[in-house]
Amino acid sequence: MNKIRVLVWVSFLLWLISGPVPEAFSQPAVLIEGIRPGQPLETAEMSRILENHLQKMIQNPNRKVNIREFRGYEQVIVPRENFSCQVQVTEKAVQGGNISGMMVFFSRGQEIRKIRFSARVDIYANVIVARHFLKKHHEIQADDIQIANKNIAALPQDVITGTKEVLGKRTTLAINNQEALRLSMLEPPPMVNKGDRVILLIENDHFKITAVGEVKEVGRKGDRIKLVNLSSKKEVYGKVLDANTVQVDF
């Protein structure tokens, strides 16, 4: 009797620590087959159930879920027929890391047990990494990068998974060999640089004038920059249209 009371109190304390499952995301109960009835459900089987559930939530065949350190706080005895389970976790579970939730077990469509669980979730995906050391302001080419399979649950959320987001961009800081690239590490390269000669375009509905100007500050497409009209020697400002043209304020 004392052992039973201790187990009850331990389960209650674990429930208090974990707290309620916030705004759980769940799918219909899934039938579980191939498990011996009358036996306790093994941790490995519960881990597999959670893994399959998260894989469906992610809906991306290029991302693979791996469950580590699964902990269920109660035992479940497998019924003899129509054994199914519904998993309840938050939407954030698809980001991996430490998660908690609820498993609801059914037999013949009737609920027979609820258990709370926690687990460590790894999510593996192909990401873009530096093939070698990249210095700051390096414009990235195809031979600067390669693909590596990494646990993105351990990486920042802006990690890059596609080459289109990388090629032609330049680094905002030095990047080490094999370091995963992130959106915050990259920026579009400048379209014009200080000292460049460009066409100054001045136009409205009635006329169009062009002149040669010298760029006085770095600018990307759409940036408003300072220039000097080489004919009049006057300082002007304008918007960068492309690598050769700046539309002067009028």
Q: Domain segments of the chain: what residues? A: 18-122, 125-187, 197-248
Q: Whole-angstrom Cα distance, residue 199 to residue 243?
A: 10
Query: Strand locations in the chain, DSSP E?
Result: 25-26, 30-31, 64-72, 83-89, 97-107, 110-130, 145-151, 170-171, 186-187, 197-203, 208-215, 224-229, 235-240, 245-248
Tell me, what's the pLDDT at 18? 44
The pLDDT of residue 33 is 67
Residue 206 main-chain phi, psi, to 5 deg: -110, -20
Q: Among 3.40.47.10, 2.30.30.760, 3.40.50.2300, 2.70.98.20, what is the CATH number of 197-248?
A: 2.30.30.760
pLDDT at 129: 97
Greatest distance between any 2 Cα atoms in the chain:
99
Please report the pLDDT score of residue 22 as a whole number. Answer: 42
Same fold, 125-187 and 197-248: no
CA distance 242 to 250: 18
The pLDDT score that the predictor gives to residue 13 is 44
Instruction: Tell me what pLDDT residue 34 has.
Output: 63
**Measured distance CA(47)–CA(87) in Å, rounded:** 11
Instruction: Give the residues of the chain that fall short of pLDDT 70.
Output: 1-28, 30-31, 33-34
Pick the CATH number of 18-122 from 3.10.129, 1.25.40, 3.30.70, 1.10.3210: 3.10.129
pTM over 0.95: no
Predicted confidence at residue 212, as pLDDT, reads 95
CATH code of 125-187, in short, is: 3.90.1210.10
> pLDDT at position 27, please?
66
pLDDT of residue 26: 61
What pLDDT is recorded for position 93?
92
The pLDDT assigned to 8 comes to 40
Q: What is the 3-state secondary structure (H, E, C) of 67-96?
A: EEEEEECCCCECCCCCEEEEEEECHHHHHC
Distance CA(63)–CA(124), nearest Å, equals 6
